[in-house]
Amino acid sequence: MRDCFIERLSQLAERDPRVLLITGDLGFCVLDDYRKRFPKQFINAGVAEQNMAGLATGLALEGHIVYIYSIANFVFMRCLEQIRNDASYHECNVNVVCIGGGFSYGALGISHHATEDLAIMRSLPGVTVVSPADHWEASEATEAVANTAGVSYLRLDKSTAGTSLVMDEQFQLGRIRQVREGHDITLAATGGILAEALAAAERLAEEGIEARVLSVHTLKPLDEETLIAAAKETGGIVTVEEHTVDGGLGSAVAESLLEAGVAPRFFHRLGLRQGFSSIVGSQEYLRAQYRLDRHAIAGKARELLKPVARNLVIRSAA
């Protein structure tokens, strides 16, 4: 996803001199080509994330379209005050680019696990929160946030869901993508972990269970229409996120449906539930450890569908 971001950003910078990239002293191998091609549209702010956010705000107030770039917890958590009080409050076009969402930097431990970022960023007024699932979504989102007023948070994952593009499909912020048909259950995922949801859907299909799979690439604004349809048309909803269940995708979906007065037959959030992610290891290993992989998703779907199937049998017998 990171490479797709840089490639699309380079295209933007070539067309529009207002586009600027500020890094917090990292990403040089990835950014070398951009830096050489657009030296006047690149700044290394050093290991000083608060200054990076403040600098971005000032440049945005002068009419620039600014991207600030660093490892997930460094790019938003260390400078949260500046993002909130400076950029967000003044509705500046500052795009906060998170490299390594979720367990992407799994082996580096909790300091590098971005598992609270979606909750924190979606709580800030006027901030658009985007968590693409594959290369195409990441590329499209890179340009979409440039054309979106105010602050945007772009969460890029190390993993990817591969290619889920449908022919002639148009990307739209705030519009959920349905990447698999199904009426038995809905699996709604955000970020690269969509790959696990799709793999779980394949396993369920072998058992005669058809899962609708949604790529919720934008958490804010959230596509209520598609979620309401899923609640009404499928047996229930399971949300999947490489993030704490508190305040993330699952919370956003639950809030949206309850306020709309729509209740699915069942609802469950798959994500981190207790404590910090204190285990270290690869992203794949951590997903398995925290029961967020395809096996756990399929297992939870089967468990939730059993009462629904039992009720249908009882009604048919009656």
Question: Which residues participate in catalysis according to the annotation?
Answer: 49
Helix or strand or coil: residue 26? Answer: coil
Residue 200's contacts (CB-CB under 8 Å, 6 or more residues apart) are 187, 211, 294, 295, 297, 298, 301
Distance of CA 253 to the CA centre of its chain: 14
Cα–Cα distance between 42 and 237 in angstroms, integer?
43
> Given phi > 0 = left and psi -120 to 50 = alpha, else beta, which region is 119?
alpha
Omega before residue 221 within 30° of 0, cis: yes
* 242 three-class SS: strand
Separation CA 40–CA 20 (nearest Å):
8
Distance CA 234, CA 227 (A): 10
Please tell me the distance from the alpha carbon of residue 77 to that of residue 66, in angstroms, as a whole number. 18
Give the closest residue to 243 by CA, choosing from 267, 219, 212, 214: 219
**List of E strands, the chain:** 19-23, 42-44, 65-71, 94-99, 128-130, 152-156, 177-180, 185-189, 211-215, 218-220, 237-244, 267-272
**Residue in the structure block whose two tokens are 């699952």:** 250
